[in-house]
């Protein structure tokens, strides 16, 4: 079989190990592997009538060009947030602006073109690695009749259908390290440390980072906060600390009870309709300084959370997810997403990610009044709290 593989959405550590493992096993079993550049963008921008378009958007993967990629983060296939089913006319490739092209349409659906490109490439199956947006479009292709196998990745760990996504462990590891390093300067100046972490619709990164780093308080996307109450709690923490400082983690999607989610660029949306978030940490820091009179150390970890090579756990999951995908391929079981459920590797229907993001179980894991992690019961919880 000729296997296509792509990575879409934000990069995370673990993508390259997954790509390598798929390639090695596929070649060992007599298959060929075609890497597709820039996620769904590679299929959208490939023009079968232009010979130069093929090497610009695809690459034949082998053991030589994937031999060392597992040692680095990111993805050798590049990535994008392209959505072929909802492409703005201005983003459409020139060669697709022919008969029937409507420059005034809000979005255009180029799925028929994507299917024709898959046929042109003579692919038998497509393995798509991504978050809920990338995977949802993969499920669309399955509904159109093309064989797909999905692999979940996102440092937010919020894909529905799986307890774990590639990238989460490394993001938490990076966050904990940064939080503990920031303690020295925050403590030296007796300030309030405000650490903003990625997490649009789900607060797993803020919650688990606070839990494992013993941050004093944490704000998550699922629970609106009251700034005066937060200030009171942090000042209590600061006074109780011999070094006279306190630490707070914040999901980028957190919002106050009276405010809205903070957008990095007003009225700016990605191809999947998501607002571009960022800046809540700075807003909270300014409010806390106004209320408490205390200086703050606001830091947005941002892309540092998903930079660099994968940690041991993400190496393990990425490689094993690759084997799970190949197991499904060998049994000709398509339209599935590989997953971890209750501590075991398994697979679920490809439509699961389209249900929407998996959020924190607030009642089981979070104290809404104290703004901090709280496990009311640990027995029977999955390894990755949810």
Q: What is the DSSP letter of 111?
A: H
262, 254 contact by CB (below 8 A):
no
25, 66 contact by CB (below 8 A):
no
| Strand, coil or helix: 285 | helix
Rounded CA gap, 28 and 255, in Å? 50
Q: Where are the beta strands (DSSP E) in the chain?
A: 2-7, 32-36, 58-61, 125-130, 148-152, 192-197, 217-219, 246-251, 296-300, 336-341, 344-349, 366-367, 372-373
**Residue 316 CB-half CA count within 13 A:** 10
Q: Which residue has the tokens 């934000």?
A: 10
Q: What are the backbone angles phi and psi of residue 44, rounded to the nearest 5°?
A: -65, -40
Show the DSSP H helices in 242-343 as ranges: 280-292, 312-330
How many residues belong to the chain? 386
215, 181 contact by CB (below 8 A):
no
Q: Which residue has the tokens 């590049």?
A: 78
| Of 156, 158, 237, 314, catalytic | 156
Answer yes or no: 327 catalytic: no
Give me the active site residues, please: 156
């Amino acid at each position: 079989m000729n296997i296509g593989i792509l990575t879409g959405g934000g990069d995370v550590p673990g993508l390259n190990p997954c790509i390598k493992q798929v390639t090695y096993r596929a070649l060992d079993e007599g298959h060929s592997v075609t890497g597709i550049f820039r996620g769904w963008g590679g299929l959208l921008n490939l023009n079968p009538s232009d010979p130069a378009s093929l090497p610009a958007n695809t690459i034949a993967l082998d053991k030589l060009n994937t031999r060392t990629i597992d040692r680095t983060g990111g993805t050798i296939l590049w990535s994008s947030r392209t959505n072929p089913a909802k492409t703005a006319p201005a983003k459409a490739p020139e060669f697709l602006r022919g008969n029937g092209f409507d420059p005034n349409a809000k979005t255009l659906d180029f799925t028929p073109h994507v299917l024709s490109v898959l046929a042109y490439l003579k692919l038998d199956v497509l393995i798509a690695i991504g978050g809920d947006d990338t995977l949802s479009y993969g499920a669309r292709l399955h509904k159109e009749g093309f064989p797909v196998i999905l692999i979940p990745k996102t440092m937010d760990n919020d894909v529905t259908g799986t307890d774990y996504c590639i990238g989460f462990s490394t993001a938490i590891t990076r966050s904990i390290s940064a939080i503990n390093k920031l303690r020295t300067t925050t403590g030296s100046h007796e300030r309030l440390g405000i650490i903003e972490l990625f997490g649009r619709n789900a607060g797993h990164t803020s919650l688990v980072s606070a839990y494992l780093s013993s941050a004093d308080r944490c704000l998550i996307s699922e629970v609106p906060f009251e700034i005066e109450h937060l200030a009171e709690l942090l000042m209590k923490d600061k006074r109780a600390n011999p070094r006279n400082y306190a630490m707070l983690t914040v999901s980028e999607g957190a919002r106050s009870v009276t405010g809205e989610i903070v957008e990095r660029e007003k009225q700016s949306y990605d191809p999947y309709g998501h607002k571009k978030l960022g800046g809540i940490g700075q807003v909270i820091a300014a409010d806390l300084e106004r209320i408490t009179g205390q200086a703050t150390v606001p830091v947005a970890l941002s892309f540092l959370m998903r930079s660099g090579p994968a940690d041991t756990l993400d190496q393990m999951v990425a490689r094993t997810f690759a084997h799970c995908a190949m197991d499904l391929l060998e049994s000709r079981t398509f339209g599935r997403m590989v997953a971890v459920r209750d501590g075991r590797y398994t697979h679920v229907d490809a439509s699961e990610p389209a249900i929407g993001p998996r959020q924190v179980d607030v009642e089981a894991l979070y104290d809404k009044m104290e703004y901090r992690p709280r496990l009311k019961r640990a027995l029977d919880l999955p390894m990755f709290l949810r």
